[in-house]
C-alpha cells in the first residue's frame, strides 16, 4: 500500500491510499482522505482489514 498527497483546486489537500499491485487498474485506489493529518489518515487505515493492508 502506498500513501500520497495531492492538492486539488482551491487548495484542498487529500491523502490517497493506493494498492501497489493494482498498477493503475480497477481497485488501485483504496481510499481518499480529506486532509493530511496523521490522526485522520491512521483512523481510515485502521478500518481496512489487516490482510488487505499488507
Q: What pLDDT, on a 0 to 100 scale, did the predictor assign at position 39? A: 95
Q: What pLDDT, on a 0 to 100 scale, did the predictor assign at position 9? A: 80
Q: What pLDDT, on a 0 to 100 scale, did the predictor assign at position 15? A: 93
Q: In the chain, which residues have pLDDT < 70?
A: 54
What would the grid cell of residue 30 be? 483504496
Give the contacts of 40 (CB within 8 A, at least 6 positions apart): 15, 33, 34
Question: Is the model's pTM score more than 0.85?
Answer: no
pLDDT tens track for 23-37: 778 878 889 999 999
Q: What pLDDT, on a 0 to 100 scale, did the predictor assign at position 42? A: 92
The whole-angstrom separation of Cα 37 and Cα 27 is: 24
Element (H, E) at 38: helix 38-47
Amino acid at each position: 500500500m502506498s500513501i500520497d498527497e495531492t492538492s486539488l483546486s482551491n487548495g484542498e489537500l487529500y491523502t490517497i491510499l493506493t494498492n501497489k499491485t493494482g498498477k493503475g487498474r480497477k481497485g488501485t485506489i483504496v481510499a481518499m482522505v480529506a486532509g493530511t493529518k496523521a490522526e485522520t489518515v491512521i483512523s481510515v487505515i485502521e478500518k481496512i482489514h489487516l490482510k488487505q493492508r499488507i
